[in-house]
Structure 1
């Protein structure tokens, strides 16, 4: 299943994420994911495992053009010249000449001048053919509005926290208005397993999701991933366990009904599991990204 981005680039809708995957486990996890059938790998400069992602891709034996590589520029490299160099650092670590999708990791609202400069750099990289598509991550509607006051290219993707307990409909609507694909991080609510959603419950323990899963002979994780795909989102689940990697990819042989999709939508609590984008500042989250 593929998604067509707003610049015509085709991208696998279901990808494999490596957030918080230790570098020493990343090579094998990526190789296993590609062997399973994934063709989109999502990483980030701030994850500290781009080099291992590149090695995992090489060990898979797949040709470079068979794998869609997505990575993110960290806030410490915002600004025009800094973001151009951030591309060099990421491409060098990944071992690629071209990055398929390069996005800004946070909105950095307190220094949005730097965000605008970084996005201009992404536009330059796009025009030069060094990236296939550009986008953003963790941008709220007001951040998208502010970006588009000066940007010439609408983001192809906005990667944000989306799962049944936190669906962010206003962000999804703002994305849709720009032709921007919503891409879900923590798509099966993994974040709810270790961060309270208000009542301490996890998406994996929700009886409603479990009931839908039972009706289809699937797991709760598979139902949540299918929910994303049927509603037109991209999703990037993560795992280092081969059986879980395979389970998360086995979501193309069933369909949820309209009632089931609505039941999943109704689970939205409006409570964010991850950090509030407004709280991301250089003082609190700035860190030097090593050279390639």
Structure 2
């Protein structure tokens, strides 16, 4: 007989927030877990690496993580994994979002002097073991959230993004929000590329490029989908950079220099412009 799953919600709040989770030996108090994770970055035993400048050089001062901090850290990891494995599918959307936000806070606390690939700076003696255990935590969390342990599942990408301290398998592209796939961070509705009408994101290849589909002889035209979301992001950032250049040009003009030449140089070498000809996007870089 399966143990009943008990979820205790506080209905004095609007919307209600889940305060406690119970299932057999699993017993999580939301407020205790929340406080434990949120105080990780300020834990007195958390390791740190300081740079001391002296004369023309500098040296490093290492404060290693204490055993108390490591125990606290992996206790939080266990509670987060416990929630995601047992209670996450049965929780309400508001509290689910709070727990995913706690994963963000947990990752911030994991930025420690454990970079074993950085040979110039000292690291904690436990850096290698910590990094492997940390990577395993996120592999386990992704297996839970994406159901990738099921051979019939079709996971495409992770939804919990570890910055991977063991091996540099991928470039660091910035902090991701937990619970979202990487493409969703930028290309969901409301991102810069979605100001472009749907029909403008797809266009037919030029006339004469038609082909016939097999024995049916049906005439088809190939279509190409333009990643307007990604291009829109680049265009947005370029416009922002151009705004900075124009501000600098005003200062240069006040100092007696040719500020407009700076803007012209930016437009010539850096500017990213998108125009449309016969509904076909044209890129000018």
TM, length-normalised to structure 1: 0.24
TM, length-normalised to structure 2: 0.25
Q: Higher relative contact order at CA 8 Å, sep ≥6: structure 1 or structure 2?
A: 1
